[in-house]
Amino acid sequence: MRWLRSHLVAIAALAVLAYLLLPNLVVIVFSLNKPRGTYNYKWEQFSTDAWTNPCGTPGICDAVGLSLRIGLIATLVATILGTMVAFAIGRHRFWGRASTNLLIFLPMATPEVVMGSSLLTLFIAMGIAPGTIPILIAHILFCLSFVVVTVKARIASLDPRLEQAAADLFANPFQTFVRVTLPLVAPGIAAGALLAFSLSFDDYIITNFNASPSSITFPMYVWGAAQRGTPVQINVIGTVMFLTALILVAGGQLISNRRARQTV
């Protein structure tokens, strides 16, 4: 009984962790299922068919491809723009700094339906047809704020005396930036980019508002499948995403651990 009480927090914590990971487990397990009908709800029998034929269902790989392309471009643009903004806010005092902070925060505080519908309204008014371009624009938009916040946090933890030391050692502002600032902020930028990519790849609501039948992203495909019939390949992709995320995040942690041991 005493053991239970003193470990209460640990038990609760691990229970929550299990709750968090349960669906992922189900996804992995059911990727090895061979359902009888079009829906993948009941466990029938073990089969690796879906894994050997991941693109078997029509449209799924096109959707993944489109999501990847949009994700990469949106990440690139959002990371560049967001990093610039983060440096401006984090490193300079300028008129309008507080309002800029607010403006960056607002998209994160806006529910996706509101953001998606407002963009749709804009595009209708401008006469732009729904499709890949509007989706891309929307993704860059909501990724921007998250990149700014992530990079800004990293910049804030940067010791300004390091840049002073670089100037003291004959580095002009450009050299200081390239040789000292950027390498030290890089982990934050990487984290921001990773966050942006996952937000973009996973987005359904905003994408749905701005998509056309010819621009089906992976989340849209899954949604459609939920109505029509869930092929097992969806679980395969889901499992791959989970494992990739595990590897990337674990790798990132290892790198930052090594770096932490080197920080002054």
Partner 1 sequence: MAAPLAELEVTTAPPPPRARRSYTPYLLLLPGLAWLVVFFVVPMVALASQSLQTGDPESGYVQTWHFQTYLDALSQFWPQFVRSIVFAGAATFLTLLLAYPLAYFMAQKAGRWKNFLLVLVIAPFFTSFLIRTLAWQIILTDNGPVAGLARTTHFSDLLQWLQLTSNDSLMNSRFAVIAGLTYNFLPFMILPLYASLERLDHRLVEAAGDLYATPIKTFWRVTWPLSLPGVVGGTLLTFIPAAGDFINSRLLGNTQTVMIGQVIDSEFLRIQDYSTAAALSFMLMLVIVVIVAFYVRRAGTEELV
Partner 2 sequence: MTESTSGDLRLTGVTKTYDSFTAVDQLDLVIPRGSFFALLGPSGCGKTTTLRMVAGLDQPTIGQIWIGDRDITNTKAYQRNVNTVFQSYALFPHLSIIDNVSFGLRRRKVENYKAKAMEALELVQLAHIAKKKPGQLSGGMQQRVALARAVVNRPDVLLLDEPLGALDLKLRRQMQIELKQIQSEVGITFVHVTHDQEEAMTMADTIAVMNAGRLEQVGDPATLYEHPTSTFVANFLGQSNLLEATVKGRYGAIAELDVHGVDLRLPVDRLKADTTKLWLGVRPEKLRLVEPGAGDPASLENNRLSGVVTDASFTGLATNYLVRMPWGQELMVVQQNDGMPRAETGAQVNLAWAPEHGFALSGDQDSHAGAQDQADDSGAT
Pick out residues in 42-61 that bind partner 1 (CB under 8 A). Answer: 42
166 binds partner 2 (CB under 8 A): yes
Q: How many residues bind partner 1 (CB under 8 A)?
A: 87
Residue 75 CA to residue 220 CA, distance in Å, equals 19
Residues 6+ away with beta carbon under 8 Å from 233:
50, 53, 54, 55, 56, 57, 60
State the binding partner of 119 from partner 1, partner 2, none, CB within 5 to 8 A by kind.
Answer: partner 1
Q: Any contact of residue 100 with partner 1 (CB under 8 A)?
A: yes
Q: Which of these ranges, 37-45, 50-58, 159-167, 182-190, lies near partner 1 under the rule CB under 8 A?
A: 37-45
CA distance 174 to 188: 20
Pattern 169-188, partner 2, x by CB under 8 A:
xxxx--xx--xx--xx----
Touching partner 1, residues 165-194 (CB under 8 A):
194
Q: With binding defined as CB under 8 A, does residue 259 bind partner 2?
A: yes
| Ramachandran assignment for 231, one of left (phi > 0), alpha (psi -120 to 50 degrees), beta (any other) | beta
> Which x/- pattern, by CB under 8 A, does the window 222-251 give for partner 1?
xx--x---x---xx-xx--xx--xx-xxx-
Give the residues lining the site for partner 2 (CB under 8 A): 159, 161-162, 164-172, 175-176, 179-180, 183-184, 259, 261-264
